[in-house]
Amino acid sequence: MKALVIYDTNFGNTKVISETIVKELGKDAKVISVSDIKAREIKGIDLLVVGSPIVGWKPSEKMVAFLATLGKQAVSQFK
């Protein structure tokens, strides 16, 4: 299963958790910061995991902006 874990972090905790998830998912999993994600990197994946710190009971602004770019068409392109 090809998996991608995208994270944002303020103090490094979400990064550590994301890296741990990738280790458990196996060799076909990749972790990347939301600041470094490119649209082509979500093509062909089977599983998308997203992690973000909570700011005022909401995901970070960077993560909200990234998620807003994922429309139905983008999500349907995963496989």
Per-residue pLDDT tens for 21-36? 999 999 999 999 999 9
Per-residue pLDDT tens for 59-70? 999 999 999 888
Label residue 14 exposed, middle or buried (CB < 10 Å: 0-12, 13-18, 19+): buried
pLDDT of 79 > 60? The answer is no
| Domain total of the chain | 1
CATH of the domain at 50: 3.40.50.360
Burial 33-72 (b: 16+ CB within 10 A, else e): ebeebeeeebeebeeebbbbbeeeeebbebbeebeeeeee
Domain limits for position 13: 3-76
- CB distance 71 to 28 below 8 Å: no
Task: Give the model's pLDDT for residue 70.
Answer: 84
